[in-house]
Structures are given as C-alpha cells and as structure tokens.
C-alpha cells in the first residue's frame, strides 16, 4: 500500500509513518521488466537452464506429453458423448494442487483465493478468454462453459497469476506443473493435454514431418476432446474475438511482453528443462 500509482514510486510519507526503511524495498520497475538473470546457484537448485532446446529435444518433449495424456486418458470421468468432465470441487481441488506444488517450490507458498466460475462465461467465449485474474481484487475467475479438459489447467494458470507471476508463459508453466503434480487424474490429464498442444504446435513450426509422427501416438479419446474443443471455439470467431485479442496483445506489449499473446506458447522453453 506504500506504492503511489501517480508517481510510480513509493510514498515517502507512508514509509516514514510506517517506519519502513526504503532500502529494504526493491526498486519498482514496469510490469514485465527483467529484474535479473538466473544465477548458477539458482539454476543448480531448480534445474532451470537458459540454454535453448533442439528439435530432437522438442520431439522428445512431444512424446513425453503424449505418454502423459495416454496414461491418464482412461482415468478421467466422461459424459455420454465421451467428453471429459470435471468435478464440482474444481476450485478447491485447484487450490490443493497449488498448495501441493508449493511444497516443492516454496516461493509458491502464498494465499490462494477460491477461484470463481463467471456467470457471463459466454461473453468470455466471444472474447476468446478462458479465464481472468484481477490484480485489483485478487479474484481468479474462469470460463465455466469451455470444454472441461481445459478447466484444471486454466484455473491453476490464474492461480499462478495470484502467486505473483504476471507473464502468461510463466503462469502457463506453473499451471502445467500444478496439474501434472496433482493427485487428481483429471488435473494431470488437463496439464499433459495442454502441454501436448503447446509442444506439438512448436514442433509443427520446427519440423512438420516429425509433428505428424508425434501426433499419431495420441489416444483417440484425447483426440476427441481436442475435436470438441475446436468445434466449441469455431462458434466464437468474429470481430469481438479479433478486438479482444488485439486489446490483450496491446496490454501485454505495454507491460513489456514483446511478443504479446504469442508469449502464451513460451511455456515450451521451460518444459524442455
């Protein structure tokens, strides 16, 4: 509360009244600014690397995602149309998944608000949004109408924002980790299937022949979920979606994310390590 939004700096008056030494506070910078680099010590502790991946590694990642999807595809509940469904306990299960992940990554040990399904979810679909996080109210909200396999990862993605990770690729990766580490097979399925989408999209651009080979291994039931997803979003193409995507892209670039909405796919670079 000591930050002055008008001067974009800390309020000396509030700091003085609270008895807080300014030297104890980090230097405020615009959203999306790189505040530092991964040190050798941090890389050793987390397993992170700044090195780029190869096409061979990308293909191996795709195979890993396919294996993960196929491992859980028969463990998720399905409706009479063969579509994946999720439990009503989704909000609580997502918080539990994030809290479990925080046992491994202690920087995620924060308070997580209860995610809420948005009543006006169809409007979000017209905007091509699956979820929203409000930094002003701390609320995580999700589109309740999207194909269900998206929901666990979407909710964990928004909770990643609540943990302080503004960048979409970082929230995507946190959502992936939370899902595949969760006890609920539905969450693991969601995480691996979203990972499969991002990984194969990247492989498609890098080597089409390898992409064709990689996708052949996916279980038909998972392919059905993807077909349902494609059919769902086909009904929401148009000017509203175009304007919404443009606004979202401009917002991201304004906050220092140079590749805008394309940053959602940068999760793959993290999944390589």
Query: What does residue 190 show for φ and ψ, rounded to 5 degrees?
Result: -60, -45
pLDDT at site 45:
58
pLDDT at site 62:
95
pLDDT at site 110:
94
- Give the count of alpha carbons within 13 A of 92, CB side only: 3
pLDDT at site 271:
46
- What is the pTM assigned to this prediction? 0.72
Contact by Cβ (8 Å): 137, 158: no
Using N-to-C axis directions, what is the helix angle for 220-234 and 185-206, rounded to 10°? 80
pLDDT at site 272:
39
pLDDT at site 256:
47
pLDDT tens string, the chain, 273 residues long: the values are 566 666 767 778 877 877 777 766 666 655 444 455 555 665 665 666 656 578 999 999 999 999 999 999 999 999 999 999 999 999 999 999 999 999 999 999 999 999 999 998 999 898 889 999 988 888 999 999 999 999 999 999 999 999 998 888 889 999 999 999 999 999 999 999 999 999 999 999 899 999 999 999 999 999 999 999 999 999 887 654 454 445 444 443 434 445 444 444 444 444 433
Q: What gap in Å lies between CA 190 and CA 176, rounded to an integer?
A: 8
């Amino acid at each position: 509360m000591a930050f002055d939004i008008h001067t974009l700096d800390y309020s000396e008056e509030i700091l003085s009244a609270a008895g807080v030494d300014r030297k104890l506070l980090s230097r405020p910078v615009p959203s999306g600014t790189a505040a530092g680099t991964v040190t050798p010590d941090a890389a050793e502790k987390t397993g992170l690397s700044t090195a780029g991946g190869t096409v061979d590694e990308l293909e191996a990642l795709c195979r890993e995602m396919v294996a993960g999807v196929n491992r859980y595809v028969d463990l998720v509940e399905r409706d009479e149309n063969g579509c994946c469904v999720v439990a009503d306990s989704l909000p609580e299960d997502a918080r539990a998944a994030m809290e479990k992940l925080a046992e491994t990554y202690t920087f995620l040990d924060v308070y997580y608000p209860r995610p809420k399904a948005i009543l006006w979810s169809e409007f979000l679909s017209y905007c091509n949004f699956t979820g929203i996080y409000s930094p002003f109210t701390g609320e995580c909200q999700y589109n309740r109408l999207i194909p269900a396999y998206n929901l666990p990862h979407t909710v964990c993605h928004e909770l990643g924002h609540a943990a302080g990770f503004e960048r979409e690729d970082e929230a995507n990766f946190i959502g992936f980790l939370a899902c595949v580490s969760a006890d609920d097979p539905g969450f693991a399925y969601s995480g691996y299937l979203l990972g499969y989408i991002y990984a194969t999209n990247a492989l498609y651009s890098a080597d089409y022949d390898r992409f064709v080979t990689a996708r052949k291994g996916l279980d038909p039931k998972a392919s059905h979920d993807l077909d349902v997803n494609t059919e769902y979003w086909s009904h929401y193409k148009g000017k509203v979606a175009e304007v919404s995507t443009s606004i979202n892209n401009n917002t991201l670039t304004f906050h220092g994310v140079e590749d805008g909405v394309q940053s959602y796919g940068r999760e793959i670079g993290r999944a390589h390590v």
